[in-house]
Chains A and B, each alone.
Chain A
């Protein structure tokens, strides 16, 4: 009898324990939803899996967005406009920050990350994250414009626009390359990226606060005129007016061109088997006139916390983990991304794997930011229209840039912003 009682008691206890255990196991984890462009979703997949295994109370759910920057932005904006965003974190391009912050879609990160969150970062990753003194974005990877050159065709890369043209022309005349220089001339954001580092190299600057946002200046006219000259004189193909990054890469990879303007990702593509230039490529910063500092257009992707996230604190934990050192090391060594943490650029282990890191660091130190303005997309569009016309053989550089300056001023005035002298 007592044995039977004990058995029943034991059974009950076991059932209770199992119930308790399953309740603990099944206690719903806080789900942090993250929208990333497809390449980043793929590159972070194992980091996310590791995080989810290590944390029982938090689960990262990544939405794999489209490949193209603009398409990701469209997807994010469409869902944000509906008010209740389905995401907690968004991986953002550097040019979106001002716009998204002005639209009220972002939550400042300062309360969680403190005032020194950007201190450990390399110079060229710090700018573009703070707006009106508030931190809205923490970069995951750095990105900047680079000049790729052929080490088998010249001893040293050109430092000035004139040198580039001279070397390119000589190589073309010798029949060693079909084109001198390939870059991004299609009417899209890439064209603004080409221009912003070039106007710096000609001693100017693009941004509100300058007269005609800096476009009604001799430097802007000379930079735009140089691009036009490249096409007119056959240093660059006419087709460059419809080139985005893939077209420029394709041409350079086939060994058709002496120089290419592109981002760090191109390095790995050029070293692949099947590339005609593998092992014969060097990188440096964009050319600049004597006396002006060379510049690299700052890109970069970073995480922002979306306002309306039901659990911002957990989301920031995820943001910290994904941008942390372990995560960056993996993205660098496995996928060839450029880190944002300063000390990783001198890390012997990483440099052994990625010998180009010190050069990337140099370029990042010269990084220039595109105007940090809520109306940036429209400012960029105004510039692209004029540049595209010049490159496809219409108009004259000084007039076109002056017109772009006027249109930009009109836009800023209409939006109630101060306009430079």
Chain B
């Protein structure tokens, strides 16, 4: 009983900031509340949910959000691991480089997105400057539905790789050095050391980094809003951008809540899959 009492403040806080808004959204998703109802709430049963299931744009955006999240997080893990391994070695100037490597992460997203919008500019941006100096035709990075999403991934990888690198670096420092010494005495090569010692022991950190980053990437909003505004042809639009459009532009709060909840349910599924995968990986190990 006393344990419950001690936990009460934390539980109340969770209820207030997490459960209550969620319930509020669930209720709102069963109402029509939009500019067409004069912002009055009118109960409409499952109408919003039926619309969601049939809404091609929701599913298109869900696919695009998933593609963005998976590709960028995968790239960030690979690049982050490489950087972490590098920064873990002892070399001159490491301290300076360690702080410099964090810079992209410290930059506000809107600022860096504006920067990338300029870098990708066709034809005046620096990237197209390089393309032109190679004698090639400029590339409309942000104006082509096939390229624009790649551009969003590149910007995201640039921005958040330092975060992954930092988490993994912390993990590397937890691995005792004598493990490697013993391994070297037994005649193991550094490459084998990476595969047999580093990666297995780093797994929990990789998992945490992936979980954090996936949760963030699936809710991506600011980067896309500034870099492409969701275009061209909505090819970079994420679910968060769509929910925002419904609420703040179309003043359709009932449907916006439904989109947000739909996104939340998809996230939940994703997290469950990840946890399951991890449990299986542990059993297998």
Contact = CB atoms under 8 A, between A and B. Distances in A.
B143 A241 contact: yes
A225 interface: no
Given A237-B122, A240-B143, A242-B122, A378 B250 contact: yes
Contacts of B35: 99, 102-103, 374-375
Interface in B200-222: none
Interface in B226-242: 228-235
Interface residues of A, number: 37
A187 B124 CA distance: 20
A392 B231 CA distance: 10
Interface residues of B, number: 30
A75 B228 CA distance: 21
A311 interface: no
B142 A242 contact: yes
A366 B228 CA distance: 32
Given A73-B248, A188-B229, A392 B122 contact: no
A104 B39 contact: yes
A104 B233 contact: no
25 contacts: A70-B249, A74-B248, A103-B39, A104-B39, A187-B232, A187-B233, A188-B229, A237-B122, A238-B122, A238-B140, A238-B144, A239-B138, A239-B140, A241-B232, A247-B121, A374-B35, A375-B35, A378-B249, A378-B250, A381-B250, A389-B232, A391-B232, A392-B145, A392-B235, A416-B36
Interface string A98-112: 010011100000000
A388 B252 CA distance: 23
B245 interface: yes
Interface in A374-393: 374-375, 377-378, 381, 384-385, 388-389, 391-393
Interface of A: 70, 73-74, 77-78, 99, 102-104, 185-188, 237-242, 247, 250, 374-375, 377-378, 381, 384-385, 388-389, 391-394, 415-417
Nearest to A105: B39
B232 A381 contact: no
B123 A237 contact: yes
A416 B232 CA distance: 31
A74 B221 CA distance: 15
A70 B121 CA distance: 22
A106 to B, nearest CB: 12
Contacts of A393: 144-145
A375 B250 contact: yes
Contacts of B39: 103-104
B251 interface: yes
